[in-house]
């Protein structure tokens, strides 16, 4: 009942763009100048369409009510009126002109990526995003968070409504400062994805072999969520985007934390792990990176994704196994040398060789992994 009331309220008021609660019914006005311009443009065209619609439907309804045979109407026989036909060709043309002018100015603004304060490179992978801060040297991957990932499995017993921000949370969000012009560069690593955060006002395809750009100057600190918008394979529905806009000071603090984290990863690359440590870490890495295709139980999907359980790769030579994980294989198995650090690779390979009933008993240390 509450929903219906909200819906009716939305019909009446939502279109005015007054309340924020209308997000579920209408486009978001967003948090950048361009996104607000786009929102206004959207509302302008919507209203023009509504007015034309009321006119056309009004005439139709009048005819249907009054010009019916059961009322004893004798049909008129006119079937041509050149003047009228010219009028309804020219007037719509002028209306279109009235829409094209503001549309052009918004498009010109949206395309102007010059004079940016910082640049973030976004690369689409099946099925995660890589964010590189070109000025800071920060580089990380962002995937669906573990809770959503667990709940979204076929036949999972977790109720999606109990998961906060179901399918819209990631492990590593993109963090950016407010009131800075950020230039985004987009490219794809395997197939075409599309990076879309509605609050920023645009979406951009990430295409392998091409680099395109767009920009945003976020005006309000906050968390803004989006999703991949281009069909990119099995887990297309599961590669969300989270952008956290912070004040300049908080952002600087975050940058410092990231740099400290990078040091830890560097140290891990030379550390010697125990079997238990590798297995625990390996399970985490597996669930984040491998379970999407090979399934959490390692059984794969027959005909599409091979199983890890009993697989000749996971039970064969260690070198071959590492090679497949690092370099990928065929069309479907991506190369993980970019997205995983040596400790992750060592852990996940060890995990795959000793979990799901695979009983190799061997392990590999991060120091033995050579990344490019």
Partner 1 sequence: MSSAVATHDEHHDHGPAKGILRWVFTTNHKDIGTLYMTTALIMFLVGGAMALVIRAELFAPGMQFVDPMFFNQMTTLHALVMVFGAVMPAFAGLANWMIPIMIGAPDMALPRMNNWSFWLLPFALILLASTLFMEGGAPAAGWTLYPPLVLQGGAHLPFAIFSVHLLGISSIMAAINIIVTAFNMRAPGMTLMKMPLFVWTWVITAFLLIAVMPVFAGAVTMLLTDKFFGTSFFNAAGGGDPVLYQHLFWFFGHPEVYIMILPSFGVISMIIPTFSRKPLFGYSSMVYATASIGFLSFIVWAHHQYTVGMPLAGELYFTYATMLIAVPTGVKVFNWVSTMWKGAMTFETPMLFAIAFVVLFTMGGFTGLMMAISPADLQYHDTYFIVAHFHYVLVPGAVFALFAATYYWLPKWTGYMYDERLGKLHFWLSTISVNLLFFPQHFLGLAGMPRRIPDYATQFAEFNAWSSVGAFVFGFSQLIFVYVIIKAIRGGEKATDEVWEGAHEHGLEWTLPSPPPYHTWTTAPEIK
Contact set for partner 1, span 272-301 (CB under 8 A): 301
**Number of residues lying near partner 1 (CB under 8 A):** 102
Burial state string for 294-329 with b = 16 or more CB within 10 A and e = fewer than 16: bbbebebeeeebbbbbebebbeeeeeebbebbbeee
Helices 342-354 and 248-268: angle between axes, nearest 10 degrees: 60
Q: Are 183 and 151 in contact (CB under 8 A)?
A: no
Task: Name which position in 5, 20, 115, 159 contacts partner 1 (CB under 8 A).
Answer: 159
The residues in 47-86 that bind partner 1, with binding defined as CB under 8 A, are 49, 52-53, 56-57, 59-60, 63-64, 67-70, 73-81, 84-85
* CA atoms of 290 and 277, how far apart (whole Å): 19
Answer yes or no whether residue 15 interacts with partner 1 by CB under 8 A.
Answer: no
The residues in 322-361 that bind partner 1, with binding defined as CB under 8 A, are 331-332
Answer yes or no whether residue 152 interacts with partner 1 by CB under 8 A.
Answer: yes
Q: Are 192 and 208 in contact (CB under 8 A)?
A: yes
Cα angle 240, 298, 326 (rounded to 5 degrees) comes to 70
Rank residues 34 and 364 by Cβ distance to partner 1 and give the closer one.
Answer: 34
Task: Name which position in 119, 138, 153, 335 contacts partner 1 (CB under 8 A).
Answer: 153
How far apart are CB 341 and partner 1 at their closest, in Å? 25
Residue 217: phi and psi, rounded to 5, are -125, 100
Task: Name which position in 171, 213, 299, 338 contacts partner 1 (CB under 8 A).
Answer: 213
Answer yes or no whether residue 168 interacts with partner 1 by CB under 8 A.
Answer: yes
Task: Name which position in 9, 229, 244, 269 contacts partner 1 (CB under 8 A).
Answer: 229
Q: Could you tell me which stretch among 147-155, 175-183, 267-275, 318-326 binds partner 1 (CB under 8 A)?
A: 147-155
Task: Name which position in 13, 23, 181, 284 contacts partner 1 (CB under 8 A).
Answer: 23
Q: Could you tell me which stretch among 194-202, 250-258, 317-325, 351-359 binds partner 1 (CB under 8 A)?
A: 194-202
Q: Which residue has the tokens 């008021």?
A: 13
Q: Which residue has the tokens 């794969």?
A: 300
Answer yes or no whether residue 21 interacts with partner 1 by CB under 8 A.
Answer: no
Rank residues 191 and 278 by Cβ distance to partner 1 and give the closer one.
Answer: 191
4 burial level (CB within 10 Å; 0-12, 13-18, 19+): exposed
Q: Could you tell me which stretch among 97-105, 135-143, 170-178, 311-319 binds partner 1 (CB under 8 A)?
A: 97-105
Task: Name which position in 8, 137, 160, 362 contacts partner 1 (CB under 8 A).
Answer: 160
Q: Are 121 and 46 in contact (CB under 8 A)?
A: no
Specify the 3-state DSSP secondary structure of 168: coil
DSSP state of 117: S
The residues in 231-250 that bind partner 1, with binding defined as CB under 8 A, are 231-238
Strands 240-246 and 174-177: parallel
**Tokens representing residue 261 in the block:** 């984290």
**Tokens representing residue 95 in the block:** 């209306």
The torsion region of residue 344 among left (phi > 0), alpha (psi -120 to 50) and beta comes to alpha
Answer yes or no whether residue 145 interacts with partner 1 by CB under 8 A.
Answer: no
Answer yes or no whether residue 262 interacts with partner 1 by CB under 8 A.
Answer: no
Specify the 3-state DSSP secondary structure of 129: strand
Answer yes or no whether residue 186 interacts with partner 1 by CB under 8 A.
Answer: yes
The residues in 103-132 that bind partner 1, with binding defined as CB under 8 A, are 103-104, 106-108, 110-111
């Amino acid at each position: 009942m509450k929903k219906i009331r909200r819906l009716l309220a939305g019909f009446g008021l939502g279109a005015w763009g007054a309340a924020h609660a209308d997000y579920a019914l209408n486009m978001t006005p967003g948090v950048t100048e361009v996104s607000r311009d786009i929102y206004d443009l959207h509302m302008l065209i919507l209203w023009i369409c509504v007015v034309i619609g009321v006119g056309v439907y009004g005439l139709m309804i009048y005819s249907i009510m009054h010009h019916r045979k059961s009322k004893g109407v004798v049909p008129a026989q006119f079937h041509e009126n050149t003047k009228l036909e010219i009028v309804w060709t020219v007037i719509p043309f002028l209306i279109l002109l009235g829409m094209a002018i503001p549309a052009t100015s918004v498009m010109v603004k949206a395309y102007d990526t010059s004079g940016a304060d910082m640049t973030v490179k976004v690369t689409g992978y099946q099925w995660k995003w890589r964010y590189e801060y070109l000025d800071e040297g920060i580089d990380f991957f962002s995937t669906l968070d573990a809770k959503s990932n667990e709940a979204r499995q076929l036949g999972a017993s977790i109720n999606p409504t109990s998961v906060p921000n179901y399918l819209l949370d990631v492990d590593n969000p993109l963090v950016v400062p407010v009131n800075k012009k950020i230039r985004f560069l987009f490219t794809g690593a395997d197939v075409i994805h599309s990076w879309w955060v509605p609050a920023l006002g645009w979406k951009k395809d990430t295409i392998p072999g091409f680099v395109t750009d767009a920009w945003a100057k976020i005006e309000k600190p906050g968390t803004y969520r989006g999703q991949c918008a281009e069909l990119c394979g099995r887990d297309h529905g599961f590669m969300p985007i989270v952008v956290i806009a912070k004040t300049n000071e908080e952002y600087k603090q975050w940058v410092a934390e990231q740099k400290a984290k990078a040091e830890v990863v560097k140290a891990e690359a030379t550390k010697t792990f125990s079997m238990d440590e590798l297995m625990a870490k390996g399970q985490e890495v597996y669930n984040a990176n491998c379970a999407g295709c090979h399934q959490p139980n390692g059984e794969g999907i027959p005909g599409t994704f091979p199983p890890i359980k009993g697989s000749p790769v996971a039970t064969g030579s260690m070198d071959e196994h590492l090679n497949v994980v690092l370099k990928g294989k065929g069309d479907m198995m991506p190369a993980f040398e970019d997205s995983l650090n040596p400790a992750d690779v060592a852990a996940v390979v060890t995990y795959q060789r000793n979990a799901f009933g695979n009983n190799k008993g061997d392990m590999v240390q991060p120091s033995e992994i050579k990344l490019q």
